[in-house]
Structure 1
Amino acid sequence: MPRFLHTADWQIGRQYSRFAEEDASILADARFTAIETLAALATEQAVDAVLVAGDVFDAQNLSDRTIHRTFQAMAGFTGPWLLLPGNHDAALAESVWTHAQRLSAVPDNVDLLLTPEVRVYQDLGFAVLPAPLTQRQTYNDLTEWFDRADTPEGLLRIGLAHGSVEGQLAEEIDSTNPIAADRAATARLDYLALGDWHGYKTIDARTRYSGTPEQERFKDNGAGQALIVDIERPGAEPQVQSHTTGQFQWIKHQDTLAVASDIERLMTELDALPPRSVVDLTLNGEVDLSGYQTLLHYLGGAEARHRSFQSHLSGLNLIPTEEDIAALHADGYVGEVIGELRERQEGQGEEADTARTALAILAGMLRENGTTSESEQVESAK
């Protein structure tokens, strides 16, 4: 019974410019580790071949080192690796694939499916029908030729394609390359392994997206997995199991704070997140000065617990209570400054952010220097 590992969208060479340099480097390196994980999984599960449904690379112009590292990361599995060009690494006349071939970086057990022609693996019991992209975007269904393709009797028919299944994907994806939703049926395929959708998605019993093996977006779509596919014989329905391969979970968390107890609740929810995640936190609402300082102290610790922790507080207004102001001894001119900052933070843009930050800094300094004179306090806050 042939067994396959289905994966796609490795996106090797992807840049993470929105993150701090240290985090960006580690997230990029995790994509190489994902290949090593896939190789170990393929060996552990004793698969007959690894099907990589496009976008092995994120760009055409990559360094020699990046290309060598990619193929070296596959060393843990000595069986066949079948690599299909996608929209990010299309099989152009001059491409990352021709670059890899000139470098002699491609191992003997790695098959580059650069042309739309049947590949027969007689000893392993299957034939592959690939639909490689030869340009970034096409408007014709490159899997159409599958319907007319002949394969040897008694072998599984495995399709490999990269693009958008028509009428199935509601969200925007990387490519406009269309694939007929019923291609597995019209082409008599036993399994159609797809790439381009970065999450795990079942189209029908014989057609699936595996998703990227290492999550790189804030979407809860089943990314960070690979599929083990068993097909007992031609015509039998595939048996598919998903296996976790990713190191980091990407989590987007949004919350609105309205009362003091919301901060405690928020901290409890954030404490429950898996450690070493990539977290994007957005807070709205309002909080008093004491609560804001508690929140900032907590967020400092959270940043240390996770691979990346980005917080967006521009929608959070600081509303000092009468007790806050009284405790700060904010009478006279200091009280007027606090009042003006309170008004300015309710606006939009950089001025509101600056006012919010200034209000928090002023409050902290007043608390720490409560015995100094009012004039000294104001001067130190400028």
Structure 2
Amino acid sequence: MPKFLHTADWQMGRAFTRFETEDGAALVEARFEAIETLARLANEHHCDAVLVAGDVFDAQTVSDRTIRRVFNATKGFVGPWVMIPGNHDAALAESVWTRAQRLGAVPENVHFALQPGVINLEAQGLSILCAPLTQRHTYGDLTEPFSGYETPEGFPRIGLAHGSVQGLLPDEIDSTNPIAPNRAEASRLDYLALGDWHGTKQIDERTWYSGTPEPERFRNNEAGNALIVDVSEPGATPTVTQLPTGRYQWHQWRETLAVQSDLEQLLERLNTLPESAVVDLRLEGSVTLAGEETLLKALSVAEARFRSLRCERSGLQLAPTDEDIAALKADGYVGEVVESLRERQEGVQDDTARDALAILAGLLREREQEAGQ
């Protein structure tokens, strides 16, 4: 009963420059750890092979060190790894793949499919029909030749490709490389292992996208998984098991605050997130001065707890209540300034007035605290 692990879209060498240096480095390291996790899962589930459906590397120009580290990370599983190039690491005449070979970095059990064709894994009883990308974009279906490929009798036919299943994926799919939606049936495939869509997605009972094993974008698309595929015999419907592999969870929230309960619910949601969270938060609406103080304290705690937290608050207006103003004990000229800044915010988003009011309120609170000591 052949069994294999299906993965794709490792994007090794990807940089996370929009994050703080420490966070970006941790996100990069997690991608190497994901490969080690794949090797461990392949062993734990007694897999015969690991199939990687393209975009192992994020670009042709990744460093030699990255190349060596990628293949070092595969050593935990000594069975065959079969890898095809995707649109990010296409099999050009001179490519990251040929450089890896020149470096002597590729273990003997790792097989590159740099040309279309069939890789027969004799010991495992599997035929891998490969459709590597030899350029970044193609406009014909590279899996069409699968129908003409002959395979040994009794070997399950497993397709390995990278591209967009026509008419079934969102418009933001990375590449233009088309794949017929009925490819598995038309080419007598027992399973079609796909890459390019970074989330786990079933197309039909024999066709799946595994998604990337470690999330790297703020998309709710079921990223961070690998698939264990059981094929009991040629022609049988495969059993596909989804396993989590991702270390970090990415969350992108767009919240509008209007009343106190909105803020309370937001902070409750933040508290439920694990330490592995990568959070991109954008706030709009309005908040009282007391609410702003509560929010800033909560964000400070969350920044230290999560892997990364970025919060955009420029669209969040300060709306001091009479109680807020009274608590500041701002009288005389200072009281007039507070009221003026308050009025400048009404009816129009004035970032300068908002920031000035927040700073002044903070200074007044500090003065009050010092006076009480």
Length-normalised TM-score, structure 2: 0.96
Structure 1, gaps ≥5 residues long: 373-382
Which amino acid letter does the alignment assign opposite residue 353 of structure 2? A
Corresponding residue number in structure 1 for 2:286: 286
How far does residue 139 in structure 1 lie from its aligned partner after superposition?
0.8
Corresponding residue number in structure 1 for 2:367: 369
Which amino acid letter does the alignment assign opposite residue 62 of structure 2? L
Corresponding residue number in structure 2 for 1:222: 222
Cα distance between partner residues in 2 of 1:40 and 1:370: 58
Residue 353, structure 1, aligned to residue 362, structure 2: no
Cα distance between partner residues in 2 of 1:360 and 1:14: 38
**1:205 and 1:237 in contact (8 A); partners too:** yes
- CA change 1:151–1:33 in 2 (3 A) is same
Which amino acid letter does the alignment assign opposite residue 242 of structure 2? S
SS of equivalent residue, structure 1 residue 158: strand
Which amino acid letter does the alignment assign opposite residue 366 of structure 1? L
Which amino acid letter does the alignment assign opposite residue 362 of structure 2? G
How far does residue 334 in structure 1 lie from its aligned partner after superposition?
2.1
Counterparts of 1:173-252 in structure 2 under 5 Å? 173-252=173-252
Which amino acid letter does the alignment assign opposite residue 351 of structure 2? D
- CA change 1:315–1:17 in 2 (3 A) is same
- CA change 1:93–1:299 in 2 (3 A) is same
Cα distance between partner residues in 1 of 2:147 and 2:343: 67
Corresponding residue number in structure 2 for 1:376: none
Number of matched pairs: 371
SS of equivalent residue, structure 2 residue 37: helix
Moved more, 259-268 or 176-185: 259-268
How far does residue 344 in structure 1 lie from its aligned partner after superposition?
4.4
How far does residue 262 in structure 1 lie from its aligned partner after superposition?
2.6
How far does residue 118 in structure 1 lie from its aligned partner after superposition?
1.3
Cα distance between partner residues in 1 of 2:369 and 2:243: 61
Moved more, 329-338 or 110-119: 329-338
Corresponding residue number in structure 2 for 1:377: none
Q: How far does the alpha carbon of each residue in 1:130-169 deviate from its partner, in whole angstroms, 9 at most, with x for none?
A: 0000111111111111111111222111100000000000
The percentage of aligned residue pairs carrying the same residue is: 64
RMSD: 1.7
Cα distance between partner residues in 1 of 2:346 and 2:178: 47
Corresponding residue number in structure 2 for 1:31: 31
Which amino acid letter does the alignment assign opposite residue 280 of structure 1? D
How far does residue 345 in structure 1 lie from its aligned partner after superposition?
4.4
Corresponding residue number in structure 1 for 2:42: 42
SS of equivalent residue, structure 2 residue 123: helix
Corresponding residue number in structure 2 for 1:378: none
Corresponding residue number in structure 1 for 2:110: 110
How far does residue 273 in structure 1 lie from its aligned partner after superposition?
1.3
How far does residue 346 in structure 1 lie from its aligned partner after superposition?
5.8
SS of equivalent residue, structure 1 residue 315: strand
Residue 54, structure 1, aligned to residue 54, structure 2: yes
**1:200 and 1:210 in contact (8 A); partners too:** yes
Q: How far does the alpha carbon of each residue in 1:181-220 deviate from its partner, in whole angstroms, 9 at most, with x for none?
A: 0000110000000000000000000000000000111122
How far does residue 83 in structure 1 lie from its aligned partner after superposition?
0.6
Cα distance between partner residues in 2 of 1:164 and 1:346: 49
Structure 2, gaps ≥5 residues long: none
Corresponding residue number in structure 1 for 2:306: 306
Corresponding residue number in structure 1 for 2:11: 11
Length-normalised TM-score, structure 1: 0.93
How far does residue 330 in structure 1 lie from its aligned partner after superposition?
2.7
Cα distance between partner residues in 2 of 1:13 and 1:196: 16
SS of equivalent residue, structure 1 residue 359: helix
- CA change 1:179–1:371 in 2 (3 A) is closer
Cα distance between partner residues in 2 of 1:89 and 1:341: 54
Q: How far does the alpha carbon of each residue in 1:45-85 deviate from its partner, in whole angstroms, 9 at most, with x for none?
A: 11110000000000101111110000000010000000110
SS of equivalent residue, structure 1 residue 118: strand
SS of equivalent residue, structure 2 residue 358: helix
Which amino acid letter does the alignment assign opposite residue 55 of structure 2? D
- Runs of at least 4 residues of structure 1 off by over 6 A? none
Which amino acid letter does the alignment assign opposite residue 3 of structure 1? K
SS of equivalent residue, structure 2 residue 168: coil
How far does residue 171 in structure 1 lie from its aligned partner after superposition?
4.1
Cα distance between partner residues in 2 of 1:274 and 1:38: 22
Which amino acid letter does the alignment assign opposite residue 237 of structure 1? T
Cα distance between partner residues in 2 of 1:234 and 1:368: 74
